[in-house]
Structure 1
């Protein structure tokens, strides 16, 4: 009938290959099937600290050292020499025809490693080949003709006749998910964010530092630059911003909020780009000598989800389960979260007997990840209508990012300690379901709910812009779960540079914080081991 595997993985990009590495290292037999061939163009190129820490965590947890390569720019640039570096998040606010003089920058602190701009064509290929080297079967250029999923297992038939049997199928195929198509799962119901995009790779993009008078703690060109405007945002992600990189390209894209109900792609993306630069001439100066290295991609409404993401013998992962928008670079983070949990559950099940109900928590997790991303991104689009509102929402995002990174760092330390104590054995590490700081959820959820209510009231015109800004100031004044030394909720601060002195102050503050807050920061800050 065909080759038999424990797990069939549809897709060999970042998600599929990462999962294959985790499963192969744990003794499961996997096969990756992909309708495309490597190398191939992909976006989702900017990492964030939480993503990198998750890849480091998985490398230790599953004994897959290849995943540690994705944990920092320094680790990555040797194996994949075409990636850029990222030492800050930069946001510059623009108005039509004007010269920008308002900006935010969040330099990556000394407490995290330098992040990366992933040249996905090469990164995805490198990772897929490492999975193959570790025993996973890699079939490229094989589309899906037939996919039968029953209580007994999975039958896959490729469009060129390949037949595969498996106990379980994981769909890492992104928007074009074969499982979602087969089972009729696609929907946009319940999603607030509505945006469309054009994007490409270019050469000759001038560093923003060369044309702006805005001075910030770090160079704009060594980070991920976001040009923000009423109606949307633009990304500029250079791969040529470090002497170690051999790549002259820069990723460029614009995402517009959909206000008129027209969800179709822009018919002439090149003209749309030219019109945008004419509206914002300061941004246009960055592209005076730029040339396309590939054709524009024009995408209609970006948002989608699925009515169900887990079933008997199958699971949709990350971008197969749903997508919101590239803003804040959360896609790869969510991919890593789901890959980690799914790998853990699959390994447990194959070791102890297959019971599909054990995967139900992944359904809940993915729904929560999509909902949280929709909340953060959808309200950011609303806030772009006014700089002061964006100045406020920037803080909500930063609170979300910092607390999430602290949680992952806490888990990473515990996994590292367990691995060191266990030594070089193949025994599975104990599961860590709840990270330090779990008691934080009650009052941080109240913070998010209140911030959501403020933005809803503003968007529905129940309160004015000034009233909304005032409400945010009151909300931030009451925050007691972010170290004051970080300055994240101080709306007068446009730049954050969390050096070791500020970290030391945060540790001293955390020792006297209430339960949940104390464990979160003492478990996540670098100088705090053993001081909880």
Structure 2
């Protein structure tokens, strides 16, 4: 498809992460010209390393799956939850929804580079080291202003703009779209290690999620990578984590030592990078679209890292937006609210219900209960595997109510009226 005279590209995409790469690949496969602007130089470090099986469908549809499979990443088929002496296993292959039951745990520097290189090989133009500083929304000819690394200012005129800038949230900042994310502010402390885990019963095909033995508001992740490496992090409220030591390294070490399972598994671990901290990551916007633009993934809304939903939502948003862009640029009428924002947010709201239930204790009471009917366990497994848009699943169509009822059946104290949205 050729673009209009006076327009530089059919679609401009801000950001070359998973959402930007997937959207670029999907759009060029539909015959559109695509120009991606990325602030960083790749490869670059990022968290969000434990994918969900639902991602695989989008990667396959975008022609990116073979690039991922060539990466030699650690396979993943589920999650193990641990709290004190209790352990619960969720196997994504045993789920309610149709679709993939396995995926990968990835070092994002390599994963993201593979995706954007594969998108470029399909025909997308990608410029690194450029910073978007201005945006003019327009239903027909939106325009971006950006600077390259030498300080040269340029404009990029397009027929549509997709913001896949992740935590940079470029258009949300430029257009004042941000709003209260309705989640408590939390902090994550994390690093990569050579894990040297020797325990024969440790399952590298699953992410390990731990709960602090004394303070259930604190939780841990251990994401095994290939070649004996792992990502290890701790998440909690800012004040509690800040009270654990003078710097991020001390806080992380003290918290790891406080959780028996993590302390034992990581007793011989060696750090590969300094412990980093991230806070204020939850975000939301008043709208995910406007004249000539739409927001993808974390550029619009990010919840919490607990169920690894970030990359899944990013890829899902690219999958939903791309055919709508194609239709609009062909002259069809597109209702972005009904066809993009509303259905995308329905799945995000399912994840939000599970995140809320995790932090208020309802979901741990369910996960660590030892006598679930198999059907219910498969329904919960489906959501945790990323199938948060499958409304045939009662834990999607009525997530909050079902989680509350099931938690009470598992012995959790009823949630008082008004305590849970």
Q: Tell whether the structures are fold-level matches, with TM greater than 0.5.
A: yes
Structure 2 contact 92–385 (Cα < 8 Å) conserved: no
Please give the per-residue CA displacement for 1:35-89, whole angstroms capped at 9, x wherever unaligned: 1011011111112222223433xx2xxxx43x2337xxxxx34x213x2121331
Please give the per-residue CA displacement for 1:217-261, whole angstroms capped at 9, x wherever unaligned: xx4223211122312221111212xxxxxx44311111114687x
CA distance in 1, matches of 2:319, 2:243: 35
Is 1:69 the counterpart of 2:79? The answer is no
State how 1:54-93 maps to structure 2 within 5 Å: 54-56=58-60, 59=61, 64-65=62-63, 67-69=64-66, 76-77=68-69, 79-81=70-72, 83-93=73-83
Is 1:115 the counterpart of 2:114? The answer is no
Structure 1 contact 231–256 (Cα < 8 Å) conserved: yes
| Residues 263, 167 of structure 1: alpha-carbon distance in 2 compared, 3 angstrom cutoff | farther
Please give the per-residue CA displacement for 1:2-24, whole angstroms capped at 9, x wherever unaligned: 86111100000111011100000
Q: 1:281: how far off? A: 4.2
1:293 is matched with which residue? 272
Q: 1:323: how far off? A: 0.8
Using the TM superposition, name which of 137-146 and 276-285 deviates more: 276-285
Q: Which has the larger radius of gyration?
A: 1
- C-alpha RMSD over aligned residues: 3.6
Structure 1 contact 86–223 (Cα < 8 Å) conserved: yes
Gaps of 5+ in 2: 416-421
1:180 is matched with which residue? 172
Structure 2 contact 76–205 (Cα < 8 Å) conserved: yes
Structure 2 contact 53–386 (Cα < 8 Å) conserved: no
State how 1:447-458 maps to structure 2 within 5 Å: 448-452=400-404
State how 1:512-527 maps to structure 2 within 5 Å: none
Which structure has more helix as a fraction of its residues? 1
CA distance in 2, matches of 1:400, 1:338: 22
Structure 1 contact 20–136 (Cα < 8 Å) conserved: yes
Q: 1:282: how far off? A: 4.0
Q: 1:120: how far off? A: 1.2
Length, aligned pairs only: 398
Structure 1 contact 198–254 (Cα < 8 Å) conserved: yes
Structure 1 contact 203–291 (Cα < 8 Å) conserved: yes
Which of 349, 353, 367 aligns to 1:371? It is 349
Structure 2 contact 244–255 (Cα < 8 Å) conserved: no
**More contact order relative to length (CA 8 Å, sep ≥ 6):** 2
Is 1:253 the counterpart of 2:236? The answer is no
- TM-score (norm: length of structure 2): 0.83
Which structure has more strand as a fraction of its residues? 2
2:382 is matched with which residue? 402
Gaps of 5+ in 1: 71-75, 95-100, 241-246, 409-434, 459-463, 471-532
Say which SS state the counterpart of residue 52 (structure 1) adopts.
Answer: helix
